[in-house]
Structure 1
């Protein structure tokens, strides 16, 4: 059996659906099914059964699950040791990111990384912080970039930057007329374009709850670019990080700062510890940290000091 087969089995066991697991692994459903079938053939037993409600583990699958996780962890640690000896980063690195980071920061970083480390292939996926934490803890992700706080005490987090959240509004929106920052009280009754679970969405929901107002949701999406384009088309407003709004003059929306210090998010890079990282993962981690540190800061209010860590 292979590490790819074990990773496929563990991801399906966690997600409960082939389609969800395939997206998390960056595979097609047919490719994922082949991995699972090969694993079951090697073991000589069924591990998973498809049902109308999703994919469930057989008794054999339940018994095999903890052994599969330990085996994958051992393979990862062994690979990391061998790569330390060779000193040449190569292979796939799985990196989970927040939607906005994947769309608005990594395109500035990954091409330069690929030029410097042509033998390393980053595999990117986007999601929400809780799911990415679990993915890193299980070994399905090598690294993840997410908002603090980190809920799991067994993960290492290196703070990358802190930034304010701002309102993205259609061009010429009434909230831009004064030219001054606005309070959340002035914005809560607007129609909203949201990504559920995003830090800006949580802040908007808290403000609405404080005022006793039910949020007017114009549309929900799971894609940062879709959210931006909905705002540009006048469907509603959105609370977004400054990272997403730094090039708004070249895009089709206006930005309104929030008064009273506003709302901020802290962004960190997390992993399970240096011992679990391959040479390729360590190279990508260091490259991201150094690239963020070297960038100008029109979008972030404070970046981490070198080596700053939180747990």
Structure 2
């Protein structure tokens, strides 16, 4: 029995479909099937059954699942203990971030980290906070930068910063020409560009619900840079973290401060020091130290 077989089984059990699980593991579907078949041959029983709706665990698979999870966790912890004996961080480290953090903060951090730790191979992915949190808990990510609160009690969170949400509008928009902060309630009927589930989108939805209106969505996207470009092209306005508004004078949009602006708190989360490799510990420390000395991109504008 190999760790590759166990990872294959756990991935299929989580995803429910071999095609999705294969992509997640970087395998072909036939390669994944061979791993599963060899594991079942080793155990002498069927663990999964294919159905039109996906792969379903057998009774044996259900019973084996928690043991496989604990086995991989124990191996991961043991590997981490051995890696801590090395004074030089090396190998891969996976970091998940919110879309805005990945697009607007990581380009300031990852290149500097790579220069300082050339033997470490960072892997960066972006997503929404709940999905990133779950991926850290399952061991799919070493670290994640997400918005608080953290929902899982088994994760360790270290707050990095707090920032306001602000309104960005096309250059020359009437709201920018007013030259003063506006209340979110005054602008809910604008056309909006949003990322579903993002902190700004949740604040907009809450304000619209309180006023009994439905937000006019010009576009839903999953890309932070896409929001900026769509606003610049005049498609609509957006409620974004101040992190996204750095150097806005050189870009094609204006920033309109909000009265009693909503805020978001951003934290670095992981499963605990015992699960971090030397590479992950190095990246964690580098991110915390970098954020601490950076000029605050979220500023101290009007409240």
TM-score (norm 2): 0.90
Matches within 5 A, 1:126-275: 126-260=126-260, 262-275=261-274
Select between 156-165 and 251-260 the one with higher mean Cα deviation. Answer: 251-260
Higher gyration radius (CA): 2
Measured against aligned partners, the alpha-carbon deviations of 1:6-30 in whole angstroms (never above 9, x if no partner) come to 344434432334565567x4x54x4
Match of 1:34 among 31, 36, 46: 31
Residues 241-275 of structure 1, C-alpha deviation per residue, up to 9 Å, x if partnerless? 01111122222211111112x11110000011101
Aligned to 1:16: 16
Q: Matches of 2:9 and 2:290 in 1, distance apart? A: 35
1:97-136 equivalences in 2 (<5 Å): 97-136=97-136
2:280 corresponds to 1:278: no
Judge conservation of contact 2:94–2:141 (CA < 8 Å) in 1. Answer: yes
* 2-structure distance, mates of 1:189, 1:88: 55
Structure 1 segments unaligned to the other structure (5+ residues): 302-311
Alpha carbons of 1:6 and 1:248: their partners in 2 closer, same or farther (altered >3 Å)? farther
Given that residues 22 and 32 in structure 2 are in contact (C-alpha distance below 8 angstroms), is that contact kept between their aligned partners in structure 1? no
Q: How far off is 1:156 after superposition?
A: 0.6
SS at match of 2:141: coil
Task: List gaps (5 residues or longer) in structure 2.
Answer: none
Structure 1's 4 and 246: CA in aligned 2 closer, same or farther, altered over 3 A? farther
Contact 1:168 1:254 in 2 (8 A): yes
Greater Cα shift, 59-68 or 91-100? 59-68
Alpha-carbon distance, 1:288 to partner:
0.6
Task: Report how many aligned residue pairs link the two structures.
Answer: 297
Alignment correspondent of 2:289: 290
Give the TM-score of the pair, scaled to structure 1.
Answer: 0.88
Q: 1:17 to 1:138 in 2, by over 3 A?
A: same
Q: Do the aligned partners of 1:8 and 1:32 also contact (CA within 8 Å) in 2?
A: no
**8 Å contact from structure 2 (residues 19, 29) kept in 1:** no
Question: How far did residue 32 of structure 1 move?
Answer: 6.5
Q: CA RMSD in A?
A: 2.1
Counterparts in 2 of 1:221 and 1:17: CA distance versus 1, 3 Å: farther
Does the C-alpha gap of structure 1 residues 287 and 36 become closer, same or farther in structure 2, counting only changes over 3 Å?
A: farther
Q: Are residues 32 and 197 of structure 1, via their aligned partners in 2, closer, same or farther at CA, if it must alter by over 3 Å? A: farther
Give me the whole-angstrom Cα distance separating, in 1, the residues matched to 2:248 and 2:280.
33
Residue 206 and residue 13 in structure 1: after superposition, are their counterparts in 2 closer, same or farther (change >3 A)? same
After superposition, the C-alpha distances for 1:14-54 in whole angstroms (9 at most, x for unaligned) are 2334565567x4x54x4476245324324426544555544
Identify the residue that residue 92 of structure 2 maps to in structure 1.
92
Distance in 1 (alpha carbons) for counterparts of 2:19 and 2:39: 23
For the residues of structure 2 that align with 1:297 and 1:87, how far apart are their CA atoms? 32
1:164-198 Cα distance to aligned partner (Å, 9 max, x none): 11111111112112111111111100111111110
